[in-house]
Structure formats: structure tokens, C-alpha cells
Structure 1
Amino acid sequence: MDEKAKKQALLMIPYGLYVLGAKHGDKQTVATVNWATQTAFNPPLVVVGIKKDSTSHDLVKQSKKFTMSMLGAGQKAIAMAFFKHVDPQDGKFGAYAYEAGANGAPIISEAPASVECEVVGFYELGDHSTVIGQVTEAHVKRDSEVLTLAECGFKYGG
């Protein structure tokens, strides 16, 4: 395969930025993710790629649940805050408040929308696991365009 062509072609797939929340027992975390999309209407399913060597990967695998906080246009600072693990303290991850979803996993309070999911598929096929979640709850605080990799000037793929 032509590696340069593969990388260029895969980088043409547009991505939003989301904050994945996970909790198992008394441990919880949030992480910025971008490989995510809806995959079915009925039942409502989303798929997300989660880096295997991350805290969020371990917690989602153990708890079989997660949240995705959809970041809105202009919320690059929130995305930047969670590229590395941050421990919660005083109701915040770093500078950002969160609330627990009905499934117990954290949702970023400033996010314009979020979904809560139950894991229905977990595939460890590459350096990121492919996780399929059935949407069990959805929340919308306001309408917004999604924050994208392009808006942030990031490239992650290939």
C-alpha cells in the first residue's frame, strides 16, 4: 500500500471533538476523543475509538458504560484540557465542572449536548479499541455547531 496516499485519504475524513467520560467504582476520568460517529438509528448506536493505553479505555472496559460530551464551536480550550488524564477535584476536571450522568459517568457541564451509553461491543483490534455504545440518555443544553479538528488546526488520522 502507498503509505502517503493512505494517510492523505484517511485525513480527509472529517471529525468532531468530544469528551468521553468514564467511571468504574470510585475512579473516573474524562478524555478528548475524535474518532466517533453514530452508526444506527434503532437502537441508537455510536462508535468511538479509545486509545488502548489510556485510563478511559480501562474504565470503559470495566464499567461497560460511558458518556460523550459534544463540544461546541469555540470550545477548543476544553478539548485541549483533556488530551492527558486529569484527576477530578472539587467537582471539576482541571478548570471544567462536570456532573454525573444517570449512568454515573461524568459529563462536562459546559458542553452543549451529551449522550450516555451502555457498551454493546468492545473490539481490541489495533492501537485504539473500537467501542460500540447504545445511547441510553441524551441531553441538549443549547444548539451548536460541533467543534472540529479542522477548526482547531489539528490533524489526527492516517
Structure 2
Amino acid sequence: MDEQTAAAKKTILRTIPYGLYVLGVNHAGEDSAACINWVTQTSFDPPLIVMGVKKDSGAYALLKKSGKFALSFLESGQKDLAFAFFKPTTVDGNHINGHEFERGAISSAPVLSSTPAFIEGTYVGEVDMGDHSCVVGQVADAVLKRDYQILTLKECGVNYGG
């Protein structure tokens, strides 16, 4: 790829809008949570989503073992919450990476208490290519606490892609 094409590719791919979410997983009493930004719905019936999950992360390892997850949706203004989950998971009582959480009723996974919405689901498959795996999950439950606008990478001043 020549220099001009590479620059164009980088510019174009960075225009893809990326929301921010915290993927929570629990297996055998162990918790993990990671901020992710590649999420999309891929099917209405059954309700399926695809998540890009970094393969060397603790969340990915636990997701593969447990087969269940919770996905907390971050709202505009929750940049500090997003950045707290770009690092390894620490749990202290009912706080994960310093933020209060509750457990999902279906997954037992951590759900961030301050987020406006979350879904829970089950792992149904993946496309394992590259440094992230495209994990397919079937949505089993959804909780909407309030109306919101999704937090985006653009709002956080972060570029991803290219």
C-alpha cells in the first residue's frame, strides 16, 4: 500500500463512530471487566450482537470459560468510567476498578451501577482472526435505567482505526 492510500485508509476508518461499553464477565467467582468499542447488532431474531474483544485480555479468557456476559453502555460524560477499564481489573467489595457495580441476574457478571443501560447475554460463537476476536452473543436480557446518548471515542478525544 502506497503512502497516499495508507493515509486515506487511516482517515476513512477513523470516521467510523465508536460507542464505548464495559464488558463484564464472571466465572467461578472471578470477575473481569474491560472497556470495548466494537459493538454492533447483527440479528433481530434471535437478537445477536458482535463485540470485538482483545484476545489477550482477562475478559476474553473468562468469557470463553463462562459463556455469559454483561455489557454496560456508557453515556456521554462518562469518560472517566471508560478510562478506568482500559487497565487490568481490580475488585474490592462491590467496587470494580474503583466503581460501584452490581451483578447481572443472568450472567452474574459485573454491571456498572452508574451506567444508563445494560444487556446480558450468552456466547454463541466467534470469528477468531487478528488480535481481537469477533465474539457473537445472544441478548438474553436488557435493562434501560434512563434515556442517554452513548459515549463515543470522539468525545473522549481518542482515535481508533487505520
Tell me which interval the TM-score lies in, with the shorter structure as reference length: over 0.9
1:95-134 maps to which residues of 2 (within 5 A)?
Answer: 95-102=98-105, 103-134=107-138
Distance 1:80 1:113 in 2: 18
Note the alpha carbon deviations across 1:14-60, whole angstroms, 9 max, x for none.
01000000111121111100011111111111110001111011011
Query: Which residue in the other structure is 1:56 paired with?
Result: 59
Distance 2:136 2:97 in 1: 28
State the distance in 1 between where 2:9 and 2:142 align: 35
Q: Is the 1:101–1:116 Cα contact (8 Å) retained in structure 2?
A: yes
Could you list the runs of 5+ residues in structure 1 that have no partner in the other structure? none
- 1:87 Cα offset (Å): 1.6
> Counterpart of 2:9 in 1: which secondary structure?
helix
- Detail structure 1 runs of 4+ shifted over 3 Å in the superposition: none
Answer whether contact 1:115 1:139 (CA < 8 A) is retained. yes
Q: Cα distance, 1:63 vs. partner?
A: 1.0
Q: Distance in 2 between matches of 1:83 and 1:22?
A: 15
Contact 1:29 1:55 in 2 (8 A): yes
Asked whether the equivalents of residues 36 and 48 of structure 1 are also in contact (C-alpha less than 8 Å), the reply is yes
Q: CA deviation at 1:5?
A: 2.3
Q: What secondary structure does 2:45 align onto? A: coil
Q: In structure 2, give the amino acid aligned to 1:143.
A: D
Task: Tell me which structure has the larger Cα radius of gyration.
Answer: 2
CA distance in 1, matches of 2:133, 2:90: 22
Match of residue 43 from structure 2: 40
Matched residue pairs, number? 158
Distance between the aligned counterparts of 1:94 and 1:24, measured in 2?
A: 18
CA shift, 1:95, in A, is: 2.2
Within 2, Cα distance between the matches of 1:39 and 1:130?
12
Aligned 8 A contact 1:50 1:129 in 2: yes
The alignment's TM-score, normalised by the length of structure 1, stands at 0.96
CA RMSD of aligned residues (A): 1.0
In the alignment, the residues of structure 2 paired with residue 63 and residue 7 of structure 1 have an alpha-carbon distance, to the nearest angstrom, of 36
> Sequence identity of aligned pairs in percent?
49
The answer for the alignment partner of 2:15 in structure 1 is 12
Q: Which runs of 5+ in 2 are unaligned?
A: none
